[in-house]
Amino acid sequence: MSALRSRGAATVRIESREKNGIVVLDLQGKLMGGPDAETFKTTFHKLLEKGQKRVIVNLHGVDWINSTGMGILISGYTTMRRGGGDLRLLHVSDRIQSILYVTKLNLIFKCFDSEDEAVASFLDG
């Protein structure tokens, strides 16, 4: 497991690990933009460079997200898709789920309550 932090006053901590060849990014803290955006951008580009194209973003430890934080998730999704990969969301809180619904992003992001189900979604197709 590796920890990734951005320079400056990052508000989110990212722990990276693998499960069945799929990268799981465990987030902790507030996802609000600023230094976090650069950390995410770098993280996704490095994963693609290594050929790691299947990513699960675990939001269990995220206690706050703003519109810029949502933009970070969208950017990560777009980066992975353009690179021939995909991204899933795990442990999406009711608050974040309602934001996804209102913005219609629930039609784009595949969300899971179980890590095993998120992993299986990559392996099944």
Provide the residue type at 89 as one letter.
L
pLDDT band at 125 (very low <50, low <70, confident <90, very high): low
Indicate whether 5 pLDDT > 60. no
Is the pLDDT assigned to residue 87 strictly greater than 60?
yes
**pLDDT tens digits along 12-62:** 899 999 999 999 999 999 998 888 888 899 999 999 999 999 999 999 999
Predicted TM-score of the model (pTM): 0.90
CA torsion sign for 84, 73, 42, 58 is negative
Number of structural domains, the chain? 1
Note the pLDDT tens digit of each residue in 59-74.
999 988 999 999 999 9
Q: At a CB cut-off of 8 Å and minimum separation 6, what does 17 contact? A: 1, 2, 23, 24, 26
Which domain range does residue 62 map to?
2-123
Q: Residue 114 pLDDT more than 70?
A: yes
Structure tokens at 79: 């980066």
**CATH number of domain containing 53:** 3.30.750.24
